[in-house]
């Protein structure tokens, strides 16, 4: 199925027993919120397996080597290509073998795309426009990807370092004219 054939809306009841990869395209289409053109279908340029492949890729002009025009399109292409395969893994503890009470958290490409779309749509519902900034003040965690990529799909992302002083954070947010701040409640 190509990207221009993807359905743009559906309901959970219609999803039935479809795979998560099939469901993501129905619940969170790029074109619902993105100010850019619909995503092109994912087509790998070449398989990179040998040093000669790496050299050939290095000689390819950038506009030919990188097809996606946005991070949203890149994530959508990955979800179309890899669907239910693991995109992100978060280890809640630094131990090499996760404890049974703290197992690794994994998101598939389809889950990542759906959550990025949810975040972008929530930002639009808050009134964010594509030319406005959303400030992100989060520690390194799995959820950080949602405002980072969802914010980029909806507007302009301003990542902030939680180790900065309050005065510095306020100064940076004012300089960017951030309309929204996403932070972890303490």
Distance CA 168, CA 24 (A): 39
- For the segment 42-58, the average pLDDT, to the nearest whole number, is 79
Chain center to CA of 126: 19
Q: pTM for the complete prediction? A: 0.68
- For the segment 93-121, the average pLDDT, to the nearest whole number, is 85
Q: Quick count: other Cβ atoms within 10 Å of Cβ 166?
A: 7
Whether the predicted pLDDT of 11 surpasses 70: no
- For the segment 123-144, the average pLDDT, to the nearest whole number, is 92
Per-residue model confidence (pLDDT) at position 182:
95
Structural domains in the chain? 3-183 (3.40.50.980)
């Amino acid at each position: 199925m190509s990207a221009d054939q993807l359905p743009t809306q559906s309901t959970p009841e219609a999803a039935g027993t479809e795979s998560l990869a099939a469901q993501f395209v129905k619940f969170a289409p790029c074109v619902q919120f993105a100010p850019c053109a619909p995503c092109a279908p994912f087509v790998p340029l070449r398989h990179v397996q040998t040093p000669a492949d790496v050299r050939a890729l290095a000689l390819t002009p950038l506009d030919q080597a990188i097809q996606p025009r946005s991070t949203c399109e890149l994530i959508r292409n990955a979800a179309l290509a890899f669907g239910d395969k693991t995109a992100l893994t978060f280890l809640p503890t630094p131990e090499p073998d996760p404890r049974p009470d703290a197992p690794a958290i994994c998101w598939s490409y389809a889950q990542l795309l759906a959550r990025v779309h949810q975040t972008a749509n929530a930002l639009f519902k808050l009134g964010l426009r594509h030319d406005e900034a959303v400030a992100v003040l989060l520690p390194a965690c799995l959820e950080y990807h949602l405002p980072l990529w969802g914010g980029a799909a909806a507007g302009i992302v301003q990542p902030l370092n939680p180790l900065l002083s309050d005065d510095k954070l306020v100064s940076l947010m004012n300089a960017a004219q951030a309309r929204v701040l996403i932070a972890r409640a303490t």
